[in-house]
Structure 1
Amino acid sequence: MRWNDRNSILVLFMTMTSIMLCGCREEEPLEVFFEEEELLISAYLEEHVDKYSSLIRVLEIAELKTTLNAYGHYTFFAPDNDAFQKF
């Protein structure tokens, strides 16, 4: 009877150890992709070239145009061509 108790405890211990080892996995990071229907700032400026051509030229010279391709919620005060002429 004693031998059966030892075997039962050993089998239980090995089963629990196996379950714990199989259950300890590193979680894979979630990949997040944004799919907005709203225009990005750079796309908006490109659609309104007649109004923002001076700003687009300045952004291209400063190599900052690709910065405005970022997703997210932020504010960009875009001066139009009239503002550049007055400046």
Structure 2
Amino acid sequence: MTKELATSLIQGSKLWQLGTKIIHSDKGSQYTSDLFEYVLATHGMPRRQCSNQEYVFSQCFQMLQEAIAGIDTYIRWYNEESISLVA
């Protein structure tokens, strides 16, 4: 996704009119671009970047296999489902 497409999702939508208070994004270059930051600032919307570490630190794994399975499930969800929510 380009920075232009990422910003068009905000500019062309009614997110800010619907009361959206914050944008949650990953750390991709399109979301850290000056253009994206400018568009958010124009609408008064702060950005919270997602870190995959948030998942790991929010869990309480008892065994290594449990951690591996949980992280695998999260990565598959992140790569397959969460990305499709935006598309």
TM-score, normalising length: structure 1: 0.22
Which has the greater radius of gyration? 1
TM-score, normalising length: structure 2: 0.22
